[in-house]
Amino acid sequence: MVTSRAIAQRLQGKGRLPRGLLEDGSALEGSQPRRNGNPSSQGDALFLQFSSGTTGLKKGVAVSAKALLWQVDTYADRIGLREGDRIASWLPLYHDMGLIACFFLPLLRGVPLVAMSPFEWVAHPEMLLDAVTRHRASLAWLPNFAYNLLAARAGAAAGADLSSLRALINCSEPVLESSHRLFLERFAPVGLRREALASCYALAENTFAVTSGGIERPLATETRDGRVLVSSGRALPETAIRVLDPHGSPLAEGEMGEIAIATPCLFSGYVGNPQETAASLKAGWFHTGDLGFLRDGELFVAGRIKDLLIIGGRNFYPQDVEALVDEVPGVIPGRCVALGVDDAALGTQVLVVIAEARLPEGAARDELRGGSGL
């Protein structure tokens, strides 16, 4: 564990850690942050990052120094990381968004990081707004549900000033336009600029980012089947994206299918899991299991293929249902899930929604359940 002499003395004095676990990190103070270099010889695995996919068991991905450094350098250049930037984050470090964007990126590029406990943030989401305000943070990464949750707590953000944010980056599949719109409506009065809304398509299997959007140009949108889809941005340099049909053949621009990627920081396989590796990694292309399409170089992600609900012959996206449920009074935003359950009698799936509510057991909760179909 590397720390400063003052903190080391405090920890040792309290008997918190054995002396042998501490090193004086004062020699590192004032050292220059790392800049783009040549990591070509650094192919050994540094750590295992477990895939955050929503279906199936978590799968271990070995991340090498070469992959990590390529990702940090390339992504930092794409988002225009510069002197004076400051990152605010509550994201857990066991997730690739928190680990890469909000730990290794600031660590390797010498950018100040204001870090919060994810457990405290869940209880007090407005902590992020306070951190941005007090420390004049310019960058933050969020999952989509956090936009709704923070907007619902807007009243607790009195005195917030979000004018320092130059990019608030949504790394979700999909990015919901309704969440961005709600967040902007709530916080534009305290300095949030529309131009600060950004996006990213990221996967543990790719170390982190595949695309980036909203930094160099406004986020593109497109309406499909009544849904307003938000672009996840354009591919990073040396990164190829294809959209495939169910047989694995490339589709034309604008056609919806499975997203496949090939990049310099792509993983070489799931650790100890050759079956999953063979199923998803084919001829250097990772078949992501995500559904989307390409338009004018922009990637639009609609959701997970396996999550698609087919009810009475019609396709429904669980994210759309969940976004509607989030707006029901009494439901805790971001704490619901929509799923399809096979019904043999009807010969199709039926929609089931499970949601957490702020209401106690009794008549109010029964009314919520009956009135909204939950």
Banded model confidence at residue 10, pLDDT cuts 50, 70, 90: confident
Shared domain check, 231 and 92: yes
Is residue 221 a part of any domain in this protein? yes
Is residue 37 a part of any domain in this protein? no
d(CA 73, CA 78): 9
What are 137-155's pLDDT values in tens digits?
Answer: 999 999 998 998 898 876 7
Shared domain check, 153 and 274: yes
**Final residue belonging to a domain, choices 305, 322, 350:** 305
Shared domain check, 312 and 301: no
- Report whether pLDDT(162) > 90: yes
Angle of CA points 231, 138, 112, to nearest 5°: 125
Q: Quote the pLDDT of residue 82.
A: 94
Dump the DSSP string for 138-191: -EEEE-HHHHHHHHHTGGGGTT---TT-SEEEE--SSPBHHHHHHHHHHHGGGT
Q: What is the mean pLDDT of residues 214-237?
A: 91
d(CA 129, CA 125): 8
Is residue 34 a part of any domain in this protein? no
| Bigger pLDDT: 141 vs 226 | 141
What is the domain count for the chain? Answer: 3
Q: Quote the pLDDT of residue 258.
A: 97
Shared domain check, 157 and 146: yes
Shared domain check, 246 and 332: no
**Final residue belonging to a domain, choices 305, 330, 354:** 305
- Report whether pLDDT(345) > 80: no
Q: Quote the pLDDT of residue 62.
A: 93
What are 55-97's pLDDT values in tens digits?
Answer: 567 789 999 999 999 999 999 999 999 999 999 999 999 889 9
Residue numbers of the domain that contains 354: 308-372
Is residue 261 a part of any domain in this protein? yes
pLDDT > 90: percent of the chain: 57
Shared domain check, 241 and 335: no
Shared domain check, 355 and 250: no
Q: Quote the pLDDT of residue 368.
A: 80
